[in-house]
Structure 1
């Protein structure tokens, strides 16, 4: 199955969709360092099967999708720049010049894939952005109903609502669903909440729902504080602090008296770096690229680091550089240190063979903006499974694949 990857960044979503079986016909990214990361890994074939990746270093607003061919793309995927909607950003949303949702819709309109996957930050669900979020979903439902030059997005939304409630649209339509997913619930060692918007072209007739979580905090609590299996797994004495650990009485009774826990435990930082040597400041550890100690980690109010026996906090790119707390490991003795690039890459479930280009702060920015590979693979594999259950449709909805039309009514 063929795919197009937009806003590729360091390649997290692209690797996940690649693992799910999609063959990328093009990857679009404007940041030079991120493009270097993609090119160098493709050239080295860091992951089998990526040596033919075609990276387009360009502003997506200047890109014509005609070069990818119409009717020959099964999936369009991308994580549009999150800063306009990020809780840590300036919250300008649709008024931010970095708002690239219209470009993602344009890609869907022009390529008309059988499915799409769009990822973005939890901040998109804030009450102040709710109307625009609903507008995005409606525009993705009817991508050929374009915004007129003379109207603003609320007016365009009103037209889309008219079409939607009428229920008899004859053009290209997508069945769209959205859900907030926590990466930790799918085996990623990071508590990273992200909104996924997934759509299937209506003529495919496919039914789909988001994958069920495979991991849980309850299972980790059980392993730590009831059976102690977590500590045994790591061959360490159960910490004294764990004996004084207390949940609310109600929750502990629920765990002990409730149905069996069928999920796996959340994956912790300790789980993730257990086989790695301690980093050194002067050079990479043997056998591990990008694994060098960065000094200067400090604890101060609001920046306490991620406890080693929990999934990490959400890695962030930061508006003014790398935040201190989210990118530090907090040890039981109260000490902290920065995650190395390789450790941060593991928090994002990048393969160890994946090399990152650029200065430390730049690479951590790439990682902070990335989609966790493992979560991307889970969602994309579920989409791929549905798409392979039916044959691609070559003509649909009045042959819009061959000649996409824009609707203004």
Structure 2
């Protein structure tokens, strides 16, 4: 089956957030590379345009020829290359590790795997997604980011990069991500989509002020879910969660907030520690592997259920994830919200058609 806008190859596919956005934007994902077995199974269960089974190998050992063969492209070229190389070396949560700050994480080379496939498959357009911390001016991020952009240029592409907050595009989750989009040199430079929604985020106003962010309360309204054993909050400080107002975190239990029996020092923990959703705001970023006291938790003082997380990421209810509860949380936490992916890829497609 050939979609109206062509065929896409997906790298670092995960559960398929970017892929779902690509298909909604008019492409057919015909080949995917994903080494996690559960995520690969999720891809195969939900994407029926794949010309071959998902390539379940480390991309460092997968040739571009093998990827094109899986896509059944012959001597042709893909219309779109998408992918989000794992963000471990550059995520904010990893900067406390000296060896990551020094840029010694071997996963950093996965960015080069993407640019290698870009140069060798010559797609008509590409979309690369990553954590926005990749743009930080520090020892780990800056050299890696500059090298990435240099290699994209050397591959023969004109490109633009921008950090987009998912909430500014109708996703009920404040999730900033870096998007690098590009086309072959000689073509008009593609632009990122304009924000459709707006509101307060990290002490400033972002997006389109004419249309407010979609809130967690709106996203979860009328959603019928069943309780899950994993939703019970455990850990040393779990008993404190019911006392925290919606939208607040552990800082509620500090002297600076006027608590009569403070438990924590001011700013002594990560912001997500005992963080609770507010029904009146988009969800904070949902992590792939949260610790026992790391939120966001539901305002009903429990962990989010799988259907609720799917809604907060804009995965459709019928999208079927494979794996344990922990695996599904990881697949979701590592994914690009499909609605955001759709808007980015649709903008690129409209400019290259």
Which deviates further from its counterpart, 173-182 or 65-74? 65-74
What is the match of residue 62 of structure 1? 61
What is the match of residue 21 of structure 2? 16
Query: After superposition, what is the alpha-carbon deviation per residue over 1:337-389, rounded to whole angstroms, capped at 9, x for unaligned?
Result: 2111111111111111111111111110111100110000000001111222x
Give the deviation of 1:70 after TM superposition.
4.7
What is the match of residue 105 of structure 1? 115
What is the match of residue 231 of structure 1? none
Give the deviation of 1:206 after TM superposition.
2.1
Q: Secondary structure at the match of 1:217?
A: strand
2:199/2:209 contact within 8 Å kept: no
Give the deviation of 1:324 after TM superposition.
3.9
Query: After superposition, what is the alpha-carbon deviation per residue over 1:232-258, rounded to whole angstroms, capped at 9, x for unaligned?
Result: xxxxxxxxxxxxxxx99xx9xxxxxxx
Q: TM-score with structure 2 length normalisation?
A: 0.78
1:315 matches 2:286: yes
1:316/1:322 contact within 8 Å kept: no
Give the deviation of 1:208 after TM superposition.
2.0
Label 1:2 to 1:133 Cα distance change in 2 as closer, same or farther (>3 A): same
Pick from 335, 344, 349 the counterpart of residue 379 of structure 1. 344
Pick from 159, 167, 172 the counterpart of residue 189 of structure 1. 172
What is the match of residue 127 of structure 1? 137
Query: After superposition, what is the alpha-carbon deviation per residue over 1:247-270, rounded to whole angstroms, capped at 9, x for unaligned?
Result: 99xx9xxxxxxxxx7632101111
Q: Secondary structure at the match of 2:60?
A: helix
2:121 & 2:222 partners in 1: Cα distance?
44
2:11/2:83 contact within 8 Å kept: yes
What is the match of residue 104 of structure 2? 95
Label 1:82 to 1:60 Cα distance change in 2 as closer, same or farther (>3 A): same
Label 1:52 to 1:304 Cα distance change in 2 as closer, same or farther (>3 A): same
Give the deviation of 1:278 after TM superposition.
4.8
Query: After superposition, what is the alpha-carbon deviation per residue over 1:180-216, rounded to whole angstroms, capped at 9, x for unaligned?
Result: 100000000000001111111113x223211111001
Label 1:136 to 1:327 Cα distance change in 2 as closer, same or farther (>3 A): same
What is the match of residue 364 of structure 1? 329
What is the match of residue 268 of structure 1? 215
Give the deviation of 1:131 after TM superposition.
3.0
Q: TM-score with structure 1 length normalisation?
A: 0.68
1:70 & 1:132 partners in 2: Cα distance?
32
1:185 & 1:93 partners in 2: Cα distance?
33
Pick from 341, 346, 350 the counterpart of residue 306 of structure 2. 341
What is the match of residue 136 of structure 1? 148
Q: Secondary structure at the match of 2:332?
A: helix
- For structure 2, the residue ranges without an aligned partner over 5 or more in a row are 1-5, 69-73, 242-248, 251-272
1:206 matches 2:188: yes
Which deviates further from its counterpart, 101-110 or 81-90? 81-90
Query: After superposition, what is the alpha-carbon deviation per residue over 1:14-41, rounded to whole angstroms, capped at 9, x for unaligned?
Result: 1101111112220110001111211223
Give the deviation of 1:105 after TM superposition.
0.6
1:34/1:366 contact within 8 Å kept: yes
How many residue pairs get aligned? The number is: 298
Pick from 197, 211, 214 the counterpart of residue 215 of structure 1. 197
1:117 matches 2:64: no
Query: After superposition, what is the alpha-carbon deviation per residue over 1:86-117, rounded to whole angstroms, capped at 9, x for unaligned?
Result: 11124357421222101001100110111111
1:350 matches 2:315: yes
Q: Secondary structure at the match of 2:316?
A: coil
What is the match of residue 255 of structure 2? none
What does 1:279-290 correspond to in 2, within 5 Å? 279-281=226-228
Give the deviation of 1:57 after TM superposition.
1.1
2:132/2:177 contact within 8 Å kept: yes
1:28 & 1:263 partners in 2: Cα distance?
40
1:322/1:365 contact within 8 Å kept: no
2:233/2:292 contact within 8 Å kept: no
1:305/1:327 contact within 8 Å kept: yes
Label 1:189 to 1:77 Cα distance change in 2 as closer, same or farther (>3 A): same
1:25 & 1:277 partners in 2: Cα distance?
34
2:288 & 2:297 partners in 1: Cα distance?
13
What does 1:245-264 correspond to in 2, within 5 Å? 263-264=210-211
1:329 matches 2:298: yes
2:227/2:305 contact within 8 Å kept: no
